[in-house]
Amino acid sequence: MPTSRSRVALTAALAATVLAGLAGCAGDSAATTPAAAAALPLVTPGTLTVATDATYAPMESMKGSEFVGADIDLVADLAHRMGLKVVFVQVGFDDLIDTVSAHKADLIASSMTDRASRQEQVDFVDYFIAGSQAIAAGGNPHGLDGPGTWCGRTAAVNSGTTNGDLVVAQSGLCTAAGKPPITVREVPNGQSAAEVAAGRADFGVEDYPSAADLVTASGGQTVLAGKPLQPAPYGFGIAKDRTALRDAVQRALQESIAAGRYTEVLKAHGVEAAALTTTALNGGA
């Protein structure tokens, strides 16, 4: 089984859908001058073509024929600051890096973890920190606040994921300390909150964005328990030979952070806990 999306690419086919994204965003200043925008190396002059696998709410997904999510709104704002239109292209996650490296798209915006192995093919402008996030029943009745409080509890998790590996490793630490192990209840990715709400598990573990979305959708039946664990940065991926575009994206992101629009977008999608206060290039390990 695949590991969590933030750790390893998921298998999906290249889709043919190309849709225009949001163009209007807050902010009057421009991170890129008109002359500099015209000189940027782009698939289509004046347009930022963005490759995304829109299957991962609340970061990027489809609402009818429209691309929606935190990544979508963030990139729309960056394009506006760069003086560009934006077009989103649906691409399978496995094909994102090749698509951008081959200059078939300008930018990856798809909750992709910035890792050293991926930096060999693309440069990343880091914009978000994600990790594994525990989910508990509403009110957190067991007082779960970090892995040390999981001993003796039942976890709903996909054992073939990074999140599952985290629970199994913690269970070993529990027994080594003379405490009861964690009982693992096997569920698909995205299903742990339902198991917790139904009382079949004491907690679940999902990637932070997915966990935040599931908790919001539960209407108070579940809550986030503790802070994200093993955090790693998500990055916007850009072909390594397009340094001017990379630098323009980083300037626009820093401007968005300073102006407050960046935080507004993350809050609107319920993932503000993963916000950065400054940008970085290739900050992943």
Q: What is the pLDDT of residues 244-270, one digit of tens each?
A: 999 999 999 999 999 999 999 999 999
Share of the chain above pLDDT 70, in %: 89
Indicate the residue type of 279. Answer: T
Tokens of 47: 């347009």
Q: Is 71's pLDDT higher than 90?
A: yes
206-227: average pLDDT: 95
Question: Is the previous residue joined to 209 through a cis bond, with omega within 30 degrees of 0?
Answer: no
Share of the chain above pLDDT 90, in %: 82
Report the chain's mean pLDDT, rounded to a whole number: 89
Q: Return the minimum-mean-pLDDT range out of 3-12, 33-42, 76-85, 232-241.
A: 3-12
Q: Which residue has the higher pLDDT, 87 or 10?
A: 87
Which pLDDT value is given to residue 29?
56
State the burial class of residue 157 (Cβ atoms within 10 Å of its Cβ: 0-12, 13-18, 19+).
buried
